[in-house]
Structure 1
Amino acid sequence: MAKDRFHPSSRGLSHHGMLPLFSHHPVVSEFHWDHSVWGSSWLFLIVSVLGYVISVQIVKMLLSFRRRPVPLGPIPALYNFGLLVASVVMFAGCLQSTMAEIAETRWLWQRSKTPFEWIICFPMGTRPAGRVFFWSYIFYLSKFYEFTGTFILLFQKQNLSSGHVIRNAMVVIMCFLWLQFAQSLQIFVLLSSTGLYITMYVYLSLCRMGYAPHFENALRYCQIAQYVSLLLASIVLIGLHYYKEGCSGMGAWLFGAFLDLSSLPFILVVNKQKKQRHVFNNTQKGSITSKTE
């Protein structure tokens, strides 16, 4: 059953002659994660992650002698716009590919599994091939692009914690494990993450255009909602794994769960620091105003 899951059958969407834009192309539908795919080796993963961490420390040291930010012009705006476009494409592509896989292969497992269960729990023996894994691969590649954002923050002389760098490196490893071990729950994580990114980068783009919408709290609530939904989905995953036929890639899922739990306090601390700075700035402004009066 798992062998045939990602090979189109004569049934499903292909029978209707009109396929979604992001799921019918051979590059998407015939994707296979193997050593011929760029970035698929353990050596590449280790070298790229270590190179990122070391490069950040070198750039930080070099910029420590400079007091003012490095002028970057439109680069930060273009970077955010690129991530926004990529997130929209990945969200639409993964959603369409998921629906295509369900339509084409549901007849293989309709008696033992519902579409929701398949989205949460890949059957044991699932191979990392086909549409949804293609978009997981694109998501994996996008994490290397996000490394650029770290250097933009450094050039802008913004406070960059070691937690930010470590989390970026760990997310790349997590996405690699998705593909390497055909991890269950990755469809849910990819859709929720790209949906959150779309909201976040729309907000940042509006801020850069001077509109400055007051949605910062809403973004934080969306992030917390994602964590809660992932927690509930993880509980369902554990239940399906132990009380049904088992789920693929549970070791990789444990790594991702540990990463999410370890990063949650970091997010809460950062938000608390932002609030404290906001209160401090307002207090300073108030004291200056009272003195002038």
Structure 2
Amino acid sequence: MGDRGNMSCGDFMSCETLILLVTIGLIVSNPKYSIINLIFYLIISSCIYLHHASNNAVIKPLFYPESSGINEVKLFWIAVMGFIIHSFVHSNIISYSTSNQNSILRIIIQLWIMISAMLHRPHNIILLPMQLITCKIISDSLQFNNNKVMKFYANYCIGNVFYFYQGNSNSLATVDVAAGYVGLQSFILPITTIFICINTFSAPILAYLMTLHDEITSRELNRTVGEKIFLLNRLFTLFKFLPLSVYTIIITIMRYHLFVWSVFSPKLLYEAMYSTVLFITMFTMQSILSFTRNERLE
């Protein structure tokens, strides 16, 4: 009875979280396509829930057949691809306007949340909408503050906070290896590596994307979108190179001490992987969102 009660609580929380994510998605989506988006959101949310249900992480719906969770993940990816095609077709990406770039970035943020929700454990999915709400509150609180470094640092800290809320630490033992095998029947190194990286660094990358969204939508004179992205990426690069450099120097100086390899070495590995994932994301965003005419806000 106790286990049943715990599963019921987890089941309830998962449903509430997915409903909250669907609601947030509808709020930020184009009202013109709200019905179509709602259908995609419901299909994707159902796939996420049923995948966890097939693994006995949440209560399985009544009369739902036995499943390994593979088919649910396949349907999830099909729905995600459909959502991508639908979103980009109706976002009119060839116009290259600032408002259009904002729409593209919103699509990317939604995709990141969808994939993260599929890879996360059920009790961690709640962190996704909570981080979105927290970033929104911080952004609204600092909207009249022209200190961009403060806004950036606030979002940067939010990403780190939710990173540790997820259960991560500086120890390799906390890496959720199971996330790398979601929907897979065998070990595939590239896919497994990508899934583990997405699951592990979901919160910091989401914080970066939310910061980028705020930066693009800001009404700043005499600065193109490409320049805004470049300046933001420069700040993130600086903040990542500082700890990476410090840990590298410490390990180099104390390389003969056993304590270094048990404490600082895992931390350096985390920082190196985080930097790699972040730099790939920054390069991708710079490439996708910078293809605009050199239009400056009047």
Specify the TM-score bucket, using the shorter chain as the normaliser: 0.3 to 0.5
Which gives a bigger RCO, structure 1 or 2 (Cα 8 Å, sep 6+)? 1
The TM-score with structure 1 as length reference comes to: 0.36
Higher gyration radius (CA): 1
Determine which structure has the larger helix proportion and give its number.
2
